A and B are shown apart, each in its own frame.
Chain A
Amino acid sequence: MQYSDKVMDHFANPRNVGEIEDAQGVGVVGNAKCGDIMKMYLQIDDNDVISDCKFKTFGCGAAIATSSMATELIKGRTVKEALALTNSAVVEALDGLPPVKIHCSVLAEEAVKAAIADYYKKIGREVDFPLESADERYEH
């Protein structure tokens, strides 16, 4: 199993690690039993733009790298644009992932969606997109 240089760069120098106090949206996906948990914090301005984004991740190199890349891809984008982020876009931006690590990119996509859903709930907007429960999907 070999990671691309991009993955290693995002793992060794992860972007946007940390917490945002009083974040408008916070999403947590994954479970400790399976070895991956991602927590995503979003700061969203009045124009629905993600002005800041931070993450914390428990997991392998790929889990950390996909979290880092996902924050880069949605920062400065509108919430709507962030909702369109797919796991394959994360994989592509990282120049690929080993097959057994693809689930990490799925988790990154779900973390973004979970954080946006939290934001929607807080402002009373209807959650009009599907939310996968990572806990169910990866339970084994």
Chain B
Amino acid sequence: MSRFVYADNAATTPVSQAVIDAMAPCFASAWGNPSSLHSKGREAKKLMDDARERIAKVFGCESGEIYFTSCGSESDNWAIKGAALRGKKKGRTHIVTTVIEHPAVLNTCRALEREGFEVSYIGVDADGVVDLAALEAAITEKTAVVAVMYANNEIGTIQPIEKICEMAHAKGALMFTDAVQAFGNVEIDLSKLPVDMLAMSGHKIHAPKGIGMLFVRKGTVLSNLIDGGGQEKRHRAGTENLPYIVGLAKAVEIAHEGLKDMPRVTAMRDRLIEALTAIPYSRLNGHRTKRLPGNVNVGFECIEGESMLLLLDMKGICASTGSACSSASLEPSHVLLAIGVPHEKAHGSIRLSISRETTDEDVDYIIETLTPIVARLREMSPLWEEIVKNSNK
């Protein structure tokens, strides 16, 4: 293997050395329980408070509005279930979301449906942008929460969250956004963006897996998801994961600082998109410009994603696919189907998610490696054979 190129940053990211260094003292010496009154506890509490304040500063919110969780999925569950159960007391038993949400949101909504809540799943256009007219029409005085992701994990499309906030608030509903893919890629300033809740996850921004965060705006009351001790102002029980909280704060600061590199990442993304869509019978999935700086999702006709992935892996390139064959369900990606990609074409999609760590040489290598892989798989595809025969007629 001559080269290694990690182009699956939307799946997870490596933990950065600065984050590891920031966490190390929490294992070696500052191992106290932040709830303890003694010196060891106070030492831990101080580190935790400091981490919370630094994160709040980056997000433009108050430290009291930041709650630590175990992951993005927990934050999604808490925000939606917490808002729904609270809303129910005021007769709000309806939830509005979109068809392209992450499973952590979709399956949370389905679970609430089984508990008697009504859920409206709003569709998207061919670029993956939510249908705003349908969304506005769906929100009523019965709506407890509107849950729309900031940016899609598969196709990278960025949603008009501010407009959606207005629509939710006009009907007195809470607005929640899952910003797991967005934070660190786009500027998020909670002093300007009027969402009530926002979820993010550490492992997408070079912190470890197992740490997440939920922003809950002051005055917003959610039912608890995890009851127990008095941690997180009695709203989320469980002894705080101090090392990872400290690591998260470091990662959040680095990610925010790294936003200045996004024009460079965007340029690399665009170069990939241009080169890959120049291959005949290919298409870009997702919006051409309203998309995450590091997201490339291209479909190639007549070939299948898992085969592409395996051949790329043999050349040291890590990517991901929306193909059914990569999942246990044998169903292609719900996001690709939602933007109108037919089943047979959804199978041939590949997602490359690059980051600040990606170089121009990496981009060259991806292009020069993937292009012949597509040709090679088409050579052995009976569907391609038909296209070639028909074009020779």
B323–A11 contact, CB under 8 A?
A: no
B385–A19 contact, CB under 8 A?
A: yes
> Contacts A12-B314, A58-B303, A60-B306: A34 and B324 contacting too (C-beta < 8 A)?
yes
One of B314, B380, B383 near A64 (C-beta < 8 A): B380
How many of chain B's residues touch chain A, expressed as a range? Answer: 20 to 34
How many of chain A's residues touch chain B, expressed as a range? Answer: 20 to 34
A100 to B307 Cα, complex, angstroms: 15
A100–B330 contact, CB under 8 A?
A: yes
A35 at the interface (CB under 8 A from B): yes
A17 to B307 Cα, complex, angstroms: 15
A38 to B385 Cα, complex, angstroms: 12
One of B314, B323, B344 near A32 (C-beta < 8 A): B344
One of B314, B332, B380 near A35 (C-beta < 8 A): B332
B310–A33 contact, CB under 8 A?
A: no
A115 to B264 Cα, complex, angstroms: 53
B323–A35 contact, CB under 8 A?
A: yes
A60–B325 contact, CB under 8 A?
A: yes
Quick one: CB contact mask for A97-121 with B, threshold 8 Å, 1 for yes? 0001101000000000000000000
A38 to B382 Cα, complex, angstroms: 7
Known: A35-B343, A58-B381, A140-B330. 18 other contacts (CB 8 A): A11-B307, A12-B310, A32-B344, A33-B343, A35-B304, A35-B323, A36-B325, A55-B380, A56-B380, A58-B304, A58-B382, A58-B384, A59-B325, A62-B325, A63-B304, A64-B307, A100-B330, A101-B325
> Contacts A59-B304, A60-B304: A35 and B324 contacting too (C-beta < 8 A)?
yes
B347 at the interface (CB under 8 A from A): yes
Residues of A within 8 A of B303 (CB): 58
- Closest Cβ neighbor of B302 among chain A residues: A58
Quick one: CB contact mask for A30-50 with B, threshold 8 Å, 1 for yes? 011111111100000000000
Interface residues of A in 37-84 (CB under 8 A from B): 37-39, 55-64
B330–A60 contact, CB under 8 A?
A: no
Residues of B within 8 A of A55 (CB): 380
B328 at the interface (CB under 8 A from A): yes
A61–B306 contact, CB under 8 A?
A: yes
A33–B344 contact, CB under 8 A?
A: yes
A132 to B307 Cα, complex, angstroms: 26
A34 to B383 Cα, complex, angstroms: 13
How close is B81's CB to chain A, nearest CB, in angstroms?
31
A34 to B310 Cα, complex, angstroms: 19
Please give the residue numbers on chain A whose beta carbons come within 8 Å of chain B beta carbons, in ascending order: 8, 11-12, 14, 17-19, 28, 31-39, 55-64, 100-101, 103, 140
B380–A57 contact, CB under 8 A?
A: yes
A82 to B302 Cα, complex, angstroms: 28
> Contacts A11-B307, A63-B304: A17 and B380 contacting too (C-beta < 8 A)?
yes
How close is B313's CB to chain A, nearest CB, in angstroms?
10
A100–B328 contact, CB under 8 A?
A: yes
Please give the residue numbers on chain B whose beta carbons come within 8 Å of chain A beta carbons, in ascending order: 302-307, 310-311, 314, 323-326, 328, 330-332, 342-344, 347, 379-385
A111 to B343 Cα, complex, angstroms: 22
22 contacts between A and B (CB under 8 A): A11-B307, A11-B310, A12-B314, A32-B343, A34-B324, A34-B343, A35-B330, A35-B344, A36-B304, A37-B383, A39-B382, A57-B381, A58-B381, A58-B383, A60-B304, A60-B305, A60-B325, A60-B326, A61-B306, A61-B325, A63-B304, A140-B330
B380–A61 contact, CB under 8 A?
A: no
A32 to B347 Cα, complex, angstroms: 9
- Closest Cβ neighbor of A98 among chain B residues: B328
Residues of B within 8 A of A12 (CB): 310-311, 314
Give me the 5 closest cross-chain CB pairs, A-B, nearest first: A32-B344, A60-B325, A60-B306, A39-B382, A35-B347
A14–B380 contact, CB under 8 A?
A: yes
- Closest Cβ neighbor of A99 among chain B residues: B328
How close is B134's CB to chain A, nearest CB, in angstroms?
27
Residues of B within 8 A of A38 (CB): 382
Residues of B within 8 A of A37 (CB): 381-383
Interface centre among B323, B331, B383, B384 (most CB of A within 10 A): B383
Residues of B within 8 A of A58 (CB): 302-304, 381-384
Residues of A within 8 A of B380 (CB): 14, 17-18, 55-57, 64
B381–A56 contact, CB under 8 A?
A: yes
B381–A35 contact, CB under 8 A?
A: no
Residues of B within 8 A of A63 (CB): 304, 325
One of A11, A14, A56, A59 near B385 (C-beta < 8 A): A56
How close is A57's CB to chain B, nearest CB, in angstroms?
6
Residues of B within 8 A of A61 (CB): 306-307, 310, 325
Residues of B within 8 A of A31 (CB): 344
B325–A35 contact, CB under 8 A?
A: yes
- Closest Cβ neighbor of A40 among chain B residues: B382
